[in-house]
């Protein structure tokens, strides 16, 4: 039987490098696999401190893809704010398994948020939109 909605399509990556920041190792590996099959280059980090160290090396990172809830002093919102301030050309997508996060606390951040669990197509579309500057709500 053919699905009337048609095939699920994904927006292919253009070879950009994405920094994945996820403290759950199994989930981090799954995301990296999805991103590499979509055509992206990937750097990985288990926390915000390590992510900042990677960024300090001035590698050509096009997008930060970070979990909101992480152990340590910096959560995903904190990391995103630092990245936006220090590396304004890097696009940012945050992800969370908690769809009811207190957005008022972080409303000034205006980051794209992808709720877990997400399908590969949603991941691909959100990343491509962010990289293309669509849905960007932060400073240019």
The residue to which tokens 């070879």 are assigned: 15
pLDDT of residue 134: 76
Helix H or strand E encompassing 55: helix 48-56
How far is residue 80's CA from residue 107's CA, in Å, rounded to a whole number?
Answer: 13
pLDDT of residue 138: 46
- The pTM assigned to this predicted structure is 0.83
Residues 105-119 pLDDT 10s: 444 456 788 988 899
pLDDT of residue 131: 95
Question: Structural domains in the chain?
Answer: 17-100+108-131 (3.40.50.2300)
pLDDT of residue 109: 55
pLDDT of residue 3: 32
Sites in the chain below the pLDDT cut of 70: 1-13, 99-110, 135-140
Question: In terms of Cα–Cα distance, which of 30, 35, 44 is closest to 14?
Answer: 35
Instruction: Please provide residue 117's backbone torsions phi and psi, each rounded to the nearest 5 degrees.
Output: -75, 150
How far is residue 140's CA from residue 129's CA, in Å, rounded to a whole number?
Answer: 15
- CB neighbour class for 123 (10 Å; exposed up to 12, middle 13-18, buried from 19): buried
How far is residue 14's CA from residue 128's CA, in Å, rounded to a whole number?
Answer: 9
pLDDT of residue 104: 46
pLDDT of residue 12: 65
């Amino acid at each position: 039987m053919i699905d009337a909605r048609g095939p699920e399509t994904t927006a292919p990556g253009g070879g950009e490098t994405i920094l994945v920041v996820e403290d759950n190792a199994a989930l981090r590996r799954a995301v990296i696999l999805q991103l590499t099959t979509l055509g992206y280059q990937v750097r990985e980090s288990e926390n915000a401190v390590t992510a900042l160290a990677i960024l300090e090396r001035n590698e050509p990172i096009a997008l930060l893809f970070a979990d909101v809830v992480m152990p340590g002093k910096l959560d995903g919102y904190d990391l995103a704010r630092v990245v936006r301030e220090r590396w304004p050309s890097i696009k940012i997508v945050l992800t969370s398994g908690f769809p009811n996060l207190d957005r008022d606390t972080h409303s000034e951040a205006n980051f794209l948020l992808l709720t877990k669990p997400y399908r590969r197509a949603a991941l691909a579309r959100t990343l491509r939109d962010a990289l293309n500057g669509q849905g960007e709500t932060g400073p240019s």
